[in-house]
Structure 1
Amino acid sequence: MLPDIGDIIELITSIPEKNLNAGLCGTVVHSHSNDIYEIEFTNEKGETMDFLSLHKKYFMVVWKSETKQWIPIAEQTSSLVAGMPDDVARQVLDFARFLSFRYRKTA
């Protein structure tokens, strides 16, 4: 899913030199060519913590400004798994199967 201006993103990779950890959310404020986006990160007070250009491989979209809706968990999960090496993605799939079996067994 391509980000649009105003979308909320979540870092999927930490950027230690900027003290930005995976899981931190930011807002897309500009789009460049070659899948590069300007992202603004703010604190709880709305103050800008950092503003930087990031390739889309470093984040995933979690909220779409156009629809004003959060991206469903299944789509977020799919986005994360799609960027993993096959052997790691297979482990995630195996774990998801395990959880699915366990959930269906107790439901």
Structure 2
Amino acid sequence: MIEPELFDIIELLVDLPNYHLPAGSHGAIVECFAAGEYEVEFANEDGETLALCTLSSEEFIVVWKANTKSCLSLSERLGAVLSRLSEERQQEVLEFARSVYSPGKSG
């Protein structure tokens, strides 16, 4: 798992209906707490804060690392999501991936 750090950009894995934020929304970590929780700010295109939420690391994945100023690869992001699933769910994802895999064809 990629350890979340201050100013990293995260992507929600869950909906936050109380804040009108769907899974997939991006926010920035603005505070790190000792108990594996993080204060995350969600803003609009003008930089205005839409929501400030305390989240568990289980509710998001890191998609951009502030210390390296780089995006995580799709493989790293998929790995982060898969690592949070049960073995049974991971097996289901593997079986799905096999069903869409077609050697020699892209897309």
Normalised by the length of structure 2, the TM-score is 0.91
Give 1:7-86 correspondences, 5 Å limit: 7-86=8-87
**Residue 94 of structure 1, CA deviation:** 1.4
Match for 2:22: what amino acid? Answer: N
**Residue 97 of structure 1, CA deviation:** 2.4
Partner SS, residue 79 of structure 1 = helix
- The unaligned stretches of length 5 or more in structure 2 are none
The structure 1 segments of at least 4 consecutive aligned residues displaced by more than 3 Å after TM superposition are none
Normalised by the length of structure 1, the TM-score is 0.91
**Residue 34 of structure 1, CA deviation:** 1.1
- The unaligned stretches of length 5 or more in structure 1 are none
Q: More helix per residue: 1 or 2?
A: 1
